[in-house]
A and B are shown apart, each in its own frame.
Chain A
Amino acid sequence: MAHYAMVIDLNTCTGCNACMAACAIENQTPFWDNKWRTKVHDLTRGDSDGDTMRIFFPRLCNHCDNPPCVTVCPTGATYKLDNGIVDVDDEICMGCQACTLACPYDERYAIDYEDNTAKREWYGEETLKKTRPGVDKCNFCRDRVEDGRLPACVETCVGNSRMFADLDDPNDPVTQLIKSGQAQPLMPHLGTKPNVYYIPVKHQTIHFERHEFDGMGKEGGLEPMGPKGVPARSDEQHAEAAGPFDPASPFAALNQA
């Protein structure tokens, strides 16, 4: 039996949010209401010019081996499979949201009657996967995984930041990465035994010459808004600077229209 886990390399996540889009479409989440099974946070670290860095932090259900959400669920709607996946049965969930409060990772959200109505319009009645209101969360794309495919977010990740692992397979390179200790879980002190691991961001410093720094909005001698005292270009000047349109471009037809 497999025991699934995920590794996320924070060094290679580019913040493209393709994982969010792939997940939303695959799992039919009401993203228009800002409800996602996975999110990528755009964060900034550092408090001085020299050590400021921008970091993208993907989040999803941690599929804990000791999941507090499963413990508090009074109907058994939230349950853990033998392969490590924690899933929610929307037919059984009554939506008390006790699991949402029990989750230390804020990885659950409510789907109400209005969301379901909107979902029918967005995704179509025939292909709708979950039809009952209740609590929803990531299930590692259980249908895909049980079909031998990767979760949608892993498959679509352009930076290979997300990696899927079978912890019961010692030859799995991602499992070996986890066993090496390079990847760490979130909040291990809570005893939830999460199965999503993160490779921390290596210390990076943005270097530039101090003497060339001349105030806000001007770094390395470059003016992001253009040189001072020069009037902004007109549309014609922009078109002239860009040169003739390439007729071989796939957008040529649009340009002519």
Chain B
Amino acid sequence: MPNMYYFGQDQWNWIIAVYLFLGGMGAMVMAIATWIHRYRAFGQDNTRLMVWGNFAGFAMLALGSAMLFYHLLDHLAVWRVFIGVFYKPDAWIAWGTWSIVLGMIWGVVYAIGHMETPGFLSWCRLWRFAKWFGQKYAAPLAWGTIFMSVFTAVYTGMLLMSYPAVDLWHNTGIPVLFTVSAISTALAFMLILQKLFVRDGNTALSHSFEKWDTWMIGIELLVVMALGFYLAYNAHENARVSYEILWNNPWWVYGFIGLGLIAPFVLNLMALRKWIPETAAVVLSSATLVLLGGYLLRHFILLAGVYELPYTQFFATH
């Protein structure tokens, strides 16, 4: 790669990687939790799992948003992002902020409408109103939560896709990869919730989560492979540099692809095919590895975004 200059970016560091990770996963946790409750998946009442999922998703989205807020240069101007959609409808962050906030509120109100009021909150009028609202408008709240949550997961990828100078980001594979990863990590997190906290004994549901997670990891592996080919044989030098950064980094190869994708894929597949017992240890190990992979994906996709400066374009005319 002679006569070409590159530079990476340090503006969007690990803080934004956490935001993208928690944003995608938290949103899809809310979507899945609400969906399995609404449709009474496998004929069971999944209220307890839905409540845990929606509150956990709320916490993840709140933490992720707090990370983004902390990263802002002017914290006092943050309110302007909410009115941005009215005159800047082409900016993904403006839409993403709304989808996160609305998804969080609707999901939690839906959960409150279907849970017992804790004793220490019996005095709270706001809680009583949310409970009434969540019961009366359960269907639109559920569908609103699912729509906004899926939108948020897609948005985390569309956001990076809107930067035209970096071929690693500016391609249609990134939104697909981030969405699939968000679904996969959300399913893994739901399995952790189910095994560690809810303990509802709904093996049909956990089996289904594992099956879908395996599919998602498989699709993610295909997309990552396609992304690798796209970068390695790209016409632009910056794409090939991104490829070298990623595929020469042991954390990407062994951490993300090896431990974060292949290992849980093999574990899940063996458990689903009954080659190994589908114990809690196996399920939790696999799910934890998926979460590790989910973060590493965002971290390294941000890290490996490379810009090129075409100085040499102007160095000589022959």
Contact = CB atoms under 8 A, between A and B. Distances in A.
A75 B72 CA distance: 13
B32 to A, nearest CB: 28
A71 B163 CA distance: 10
B314 A73 contact: no
Given A94-B74, A132-B77, A72 B311 contact: no
Contacts of B81: 74-75, 94, 96
Interface residues of B, number: 43
B80 A75 contact: yes
A45 B317 CA distance: 13
B87 A76 contact: yes
Contact of B314 (A10, A110, A135): A10
Contact of A45 (B75, B94, B305, B316): B316
Contacts of A71: 90-91, 162
Contacts of A57: 311, 314
Interface in B162-177: 162-166
Nearest to A189: B236
Interface in B36-77: 68, 71-75, 77
A102 B162 contact: yes
A111 interface: yes
A72 B83 CA distance: 14
B97 interface: yes
Contact of B93 (A92, A96, A112, A184): A96
B163 A102 contact: yes
A95 B164 contact: no
Given A100-B11, A201-B314, A76 B88 contact: yes
Given A96-B93, A102-B163, A76 B84 contact: yes
Contacts of A200: 313-317
Given A101-B12, A110-B11, A133 B74 contact: yes
B307 A106 contact: yes
A105 B309 CA distance: 7
A187 interface: yes
B121 interface: no
Interface in B260-318: 305, 307, 309-318
Contacts of A93: 73-74, 77
Contact of A68 (B3, B71, B164, B316): B164
B163 A68 contact: yes
A94 B87 CA distance: 16
Contact of B72 (A96, A111, A203): A96
Given A74-B97, A106-B309, A111-B73, A191 B316 contact: no
B77 A94 contact: yes
B124 interface: no
B164 A203 contact: no
B93 A98 contact: yes
Interface in A28-61: 41, 43, 45, 53, 55, 57
Interface of A: 10, 41, 43, 45, 53, 55, 57, 68, 71-77, 91-98, 100-106, 110-112, 132-135, 184, 186-187, 190-192, 198-203
28 contacts: A43-B315, A53-B315, A68-B165, A73-B88, A75-B81, A93-B73, A93-B77, A95-B77, A96-B71, A96-B72, A96-B81, A97-B12, A97-B71, A101-B9, A101-B166, A102-B164, A104-B164, A132-B74, A134-B74, A184-B314, A186-B313, A190-B164, A198-B314, A200-B313, A200-B314, A200-B315, A200-B317, A203-B317
Given A102-B165, A192-B164, A200-B315, 5 more contacts: A93-B74, A98-B159, A101-B11, A133-B74, A187-B310
Interface of B: 3, 7, 9, 11-12, 68, 71-75, 77-78, 80-81, 83-84, 87-88, 90-94, 97, 159, 162-166, 305, 307, 309-318
